[in-house]
Structure 1
């Protein structure tokens, strides 16, 4: 596993340099879910794949930017699903973006997730790794230095409501309105990685990306985004759910499946579960 984390660190440094100097324009390609790929997406994906190819314990990888699983080392133990540059459309307006990694054994399903990590590329580059606990590292003089262990409080203060608001269910809108009425502060950049990172560092709150009338199964992808962060939040004493059950109990039928998702500290997630149960059809 150490080899994998070292590879993630190396890729993070290379992607940081790419973000600072790379082309932020659109390519002529689309990814598997129909999103137009930026040239930064493609280049970041190539960086990670090239580095992972040299790690003997990695059996196969799958990227949000690619259609299929890519076999690497027949005798490898681990499978890695990753989003090479989440929120890449924010780069050209100089907002924080990130990379997300889920480390699996045997097959790409939530119950086989054994570790997770993400990188935030912002004013500072920070790496968070979750195994049995959640540790944050910061890039200083081209090396990642341990900074702190991350734990969520039972209750937070931040609210990051995602997805298209005019497609929300009426009860979800009421839930979000009630949370703001209770004094929570809006913190939403449009980037999953920086928003979830902020909630972790500030001790708690709620990030939501529900199912909507236009996307009943949500927009965020299970293997690359939802499951890794669900693992991280649970290890940080928080929760992640799809509205009704643990996110890590959601079934995967295809590598690019999506799911509604909610991440946060216990009080906020219990509140979500109560509202969704009361309004279940």
Structure 2
């Protein structure tokens, strides 16, 4: 596993340089879910695939930017699903973005995720590795140095409500309004990685991306985004649900499946489950 973490560290350093010097414009291509790819998306994807191709323990990879699974080493043990540059549309206005990696065994599904990694490219570059616990590292003088373990409080103070608000179910809107009325502070950048990272480092809160009338199954991808962060939040002492059950119990029928998702500390997650059980379908 350490060689995979080392490969991700190598890719992060290269992507940091790419973000600082690369073209932030759009390409003429679309990814598997119909989003126009930025040139940074494509270049970041190439960087990661080339580095992973050298790691013999990796059996296969799948990227959010590619349609199909890429087989690497027949004798490899691990499968990796990754989003090479989540929130890349924020780069041209100089907001934080990130890379997300889910490490699986045997098959790409929630039951088989065994570790996850995400990288935040902001004023500082930070990497969070989740195995049995959650550890944060920071890029200092060209190397990632351990900074701290991450644990969530039972209750947080931040609220990051995502998706198209005019497509929310009325009960979901009421949930979000009630949370704000209880004194929670809005913290939402439009980037999944920096928003979830902020909640983790500030001790707790709620990040939500529900199913909506225009996207009943949500927008965020299971393998590349939702499952890796679900593992992190659970290991940090919080939770991740789809409104009704643990995200890590949600089935996967296609590598690009999406799911509604809520991440947070235990009190906020229990609040979501109560509201959805009383109102949802």
Q: Residue in 2 aligned with 1:82? A: 82
Cα deviation for residue 156 of structure 1 reads 0.1
CA distance in 2, matches of 1:37, 1:142: 29
For residue 27 of structure 2, give the secondary structure of its aligned residue in structure 1: strand
Q: Does 1:216 align with 2:216?
A: yes
Q: Counterparts of 1:46-195 in structure 2 under 5 Å?
A: 46-195=46-195
CA distance in 2, matches of 1:133, 1:252: 25
Q: Deviations over 1:4-49 (max 9, x none)?
A: 0000000000000000000000000000000000000000000000
CA distance in 2, matches of 1:3, 1:275: 43
Cα deviation for residue 280 of structure 1 reads 2.5
Q: Deviations over 1:57-111 (max 9, x none)?
A: 0000000000000000000000000000000000000000000000000000100
CA distance in 1, matches of 2:280, 2:226: 22
Q: Residue in 2 aligned with 1:264? A: 264
Q: Residue in 1 aligned with 2:229? A: 229
Q: Deviations over 1:141-166 (max 9, x none)?
A: 00000000000000000000000000
Aligned residue pairs, count:
281
Q: Residue in 2 aligned with 1:24? A: 24
Q: Mark the runs of 5 or more structure 1 residues left unpaired by the alignment.
A: none
Q: Does 1:10 align with 2:26?
A: no
